[in-house]
Structure 1
Amino acid sequence: MVLDFKKYQTYVQILKEELVPATGCTEPIALSYCASKARDILQVKPKRCLVEVSGNIIKNVKSVVVPNTNGLKGIEAAVAAGIVAGDANKALEVIANIKDEEIFKIKEYLSNHFIEVKPLESEHILDIKITLYGDDEYVLVRIVDQHTNIVLIEKNNKILFSKEDKKYNDNIVTNRHELNIADIYEFSKKVEITDIKEIIKRQIDYNSAIAREGLDKNYGANIGSVLLKTGNDVVTRAKALAAAGSDARMSGCELPVVINSGSGNQGMTVSLPIIEYARELDVSDDGLYRALVLANLIAIHQKTGIGRLSAYCGAVSAGCAAGCGIAYLYGGDYKCIAHTIVNSLAITSGIICDGAKSSCAAKIAASVDAGILGYQMYLEGQEFKDGDGIVVKGVENTIKNVARLGKIGMKETDKEIIKIMTDC
């Protein structure tokens, strides 16, 4: 199979667009970014604020710590951080450089200014509208579908910027629907390392650093540390590192992460197990880069059909992709990769997403374990076959079934999860 130049460039561009750094869980950070952008346009610190958000934003912000706020959680904290100290020019690193004195100002702002939060009925799973009010003026900024995708800026009844509905994703240049496993495998073998080295090396450096942080200190439920107490083999270490990164990130660690499919947890899940296996096997940098290219694109391919947010846990897609990257390190061919995907998806596709919080680390460990088991099954000549539940013949068909499950089948599950979380 030969990749034409256009598809080659598309795959490189997808990696550039998706593998970007973010400080903090991306849903609260999207709120901080939106609020910071609105404040810049209002040009004064607002006296009150209306925050309208879709259910999945409520779900994913409720229980996670906002970085650089000394442990604050929730929508109001994320918005206040953006208003008081955010730098919108830094996108998903909008509150990465908050100073100590600004943390006090964030708490002071929360105490002295009214921030109203309302659920937003929307056809978009990711939808944020923030309106900031001064004495006699206001600014509204809206983000849809992607965490930094501003589609509307309005000031005092005047539209300053707008995108038509069909152009909501104009900032995402490339078409993810061109991805397929056969071409991803071929691209991973043929890609010029110089085209992807900077992107992938940053992922290795950033995600490895936060994993070490998660193991060294007390974060969340310390899933990474718990796993390492059960053994020190490479499988356990691979799961522990990915979990430890999530332990730290969900508890407000200020270190940045290189994300995948809009998620830091998915970015760590897809990369850290492969990095650890590469160390174990003494794989060259070139081999590690190619395995990570493969895994990142496989994760993105799976999430394209599901969407950024869902009741379907994104760690499942990333853990499956990590299993494929590990298989690649061992010399796995296209057939091996395809079977690893189908096997691992058959194991863990029922894991729900009930928001960002400490238990994400445990779900990550289970998903990585399924990815590795899917590969080990292939080595033993074992497989889940056409007709076994949602598994059907052909890896692309099984991926489509999982996307259907996550995007359509779990819609009502998503609503019920949000009801449960907001009724507590």
Structure 2
Amino acid sequence: MSEREEKAFCDILAFELKKALGCTEPIAIAYTASVARRALGRLPDQALVRCSGNVIKNAKSVYVPMGGRLKGIEAACLLGAVGGNPDDKLEVLRGIQQEDIDLAKELIRRKICLVEQLDSSEKLHIIVSLKSGDDTAEACVRHTHTGLYRLSKNGEVIFDRETGAEGEEKEPEYRELDLESILRFSEEIDFEKSMYGKRIRELIEEQIRCNTAISEEGLRRSYGAGIGRALFRNNAEDVKLRARAMAAAGSDARMNGCDLPVVINSGSGNQGITVSLPLIEYSRYLKLSHEKLLRALLLSNLTAIYQKHEIGRLSAYCGVVNAAAGAGAGISYLRGGGLREIENTIINTLENISGIVCDGAGESCAAKIASSIDAAIMGSDMAMEGIRFSRDDGMVKDNFRKTLDGVVKLAKEGMRETDQVILDIMIHET
């Protein structure tokens, strides 16, 4: 494998596998508000948050981490404006103090923050406008959760991505990604001698630490609907059940105010949890080496990124479906499967559960994760027995690439109206 290829994969993983506190949509709102507040230079007396529908869908019902049980868009914005540090990116609220929470609560009580839906073609689009006296500041984030697009103060542009900016993080190239090259890279990268391998190992090790910690927290304490705890109590000795329970427990905690960070995948903590925790459980059960687990996690993460990059970060199509397909690929790899078994695992999983919709971030995400992992394990079981859904059975085509093309079309085109209907139900209907 060439150094150029190693760098390309490393850049993708470094961009996609980041630590984040809580649900990434309210955190993105908090980040945008913190950027505007820094430009404004003092506390606002008025705030306006304008978000695309998908951001509203994912931010309206979840607790804001470090926020003392505050929930929703206004809370995310005001906590970011009061005590957020934009330099911390997706951990923007990690330095929040009790006095910041108290002040945010007071500002919420005074109703200084308004929320509006943006009419935008971008699925991930946030604009926060702050005002203090005669001064104003406005920050815009688009496409990625910390993708600062524009910043202005008193109408004067401070930063505009269209004109470029020194030091601004750029999205990597994804053209190296295909299933065969992902598997080859996962098997061949040298974690000890390659500078890129060493960096990738650090990223994966951090994912193991963070995501295991929040999963264990979700089992210790009652969060949300407690999906993980309920599953775990049923039969903790069954590896298939443990794989579902540990991932669900991490989501239970994350979506319901836990202050522990997760390492995300494709902009989502739930997807980061889904691609990692089932493999950790299977590796323990199969008594495999730590290096084998690292390589399986590399395969799982990259396979999920490959799928989700083409669909987009936010959609009506539930992202844990792609993450679970990635986890299934990693499980088949741990079980001794090669390219054929891995490809068939993903196809089996996608054909089974591609109809799961995203109806916003919340307690039910843990249940969707558990259901998707169950489908991925079944997909792996089938593939390891040489079984794959037949060509033209539903959306199944000759190979994974052609099947994925159909799934992408379903998610981006077929579910366009579904997305709006879900948002209308969530916001307007009783």
TM-score (norm 2): 0.95
Q: Which residue of 1 aligns with 2:357?
A: 352
Matched, 1:203 2:207: yes
Q: Per-residue CA shift, 1:95-124, capped at 9, x if unaligned?
A: 122222322121012123511111100110
For 1:344 and 1:202, the matched residues in 2 are separated by 27
- Say how many residue pairs are matched: 420
Q: Which residue of 2 aligns with 1:37?
A: 35
- Deviation of the 1:166 alpha carbon: 11
State how 1:197-236 maps to structure 2 within 5 Å: 197-232=201-236, 233-236=238-241
Match of 1:246 among 247, 251, 255: 251
State how 1:365-384 maps to structure 2 within 5 Å: 365-384=370-389
Q: Which residue of 2 aligns with 1:284?
A: 289
For 2:242 and 2:346, the matched residues in 1 are separated by 21
8 Å contact kept, 2:39–2:152 = no
Select between 346-355 and 176-185 the one with higher mean Cα deviation: 176-185
Q: Which residue of 2 aligns with 1:310?
A: 315
Q: Which residue of 2 aligns with 1:386?
A: 391
| Residue type at the aligned position of 1:360 | C
Select between 181-190 and 98-107 the one with higher mean Cα deviation: 98-107
| Residue type at the aligned position of 2:379 | G
Select between 109-118 and 334-343 the one with higher mean Cα deviation: 109-118
- Deviation of the 1:37 alpha carbon: 0.8
8 Å contact kept, 1:238–1:273 = yes
Q: Is there any run of 5+ residues in structure 2 with no aligned partner, and where?
A: 192-197
Q: Which residue of 2 aligns with 1:192?
A: 190
- Deviation of the 1:331 alpha carbon: 1.7
Identical residues among aligned pairs (%): 47
- Deviation of the 1:164 alpha carbon: 2.3
| Residue type at the aligned position of 1:311 | A
| Residue type at the aligned position of 2:227 | I
8 Å contact kept, 1:47–1:113 = no
| Equivalent position SS for 2:50 | strand
For 1:56 and 1:166, the matched residues in 2 are separated by 27
| Residue type at the aligned position of 1:35 | A
8 Å contact kept, 1:305–1:407 = no
| Equivalent position SS for 2:169 | coil
Q: Which residue of 2 aligns with 1:115?
A: 113
For 1:148 and 1:102, the matched residues in 2 are separated by 22
Q: Which residue of 2 aligns with 1:420?
A: 425
For 1:67 and 1:165, the matched residues in 2 are separated by 34
Q: Which residue of 1 aligns with 2:71?
A: 73
For 1:113 and 1:340, the matched residues in 2 are separated by 50
8 Å contact kept, 1:42–1:138 = yes
Q: Per-residue CA shift, 1:131-159, capped at 9, x if unaligned?
A: 10111111110000000000101111211
Aligned-pair Cα RMSD in Å: 1.4
Select between 150-159 and 237-246 the one with higher mean Cα deviation: 150-159
For 2:367 and 2:341, the matched residues in 1 are separated by 27
Matched, 1:364 2:369: yes
Q: Which residue of 2 aligns with 1:134?
A: 132
| Residue type at the aligned position of 1:205 | R
8 Å contact kept, 2:247–2:278 = yes
Q: Per-residue CA shift, 1:49-80, capped at 9, x if unaligned?
A: 11111000110011111112221111100001
Q: Is there any run of 5+ residues in structure 1 with no aligned partner, and where?
A: none
For 1:146 and 1:86, the matched residues in 2 are separated by 18
For 1:165 and 1:386, the matched residues in 2 are separated by 47
For 2:206 and 2:427, the matched residues in 1 are separated by 37
TM-score (norm 1): 0.97
Q: Which residue of 2 aligns with 1:102?
A: 100
- Deviation of the 1:279 alpha carbon: 1.1
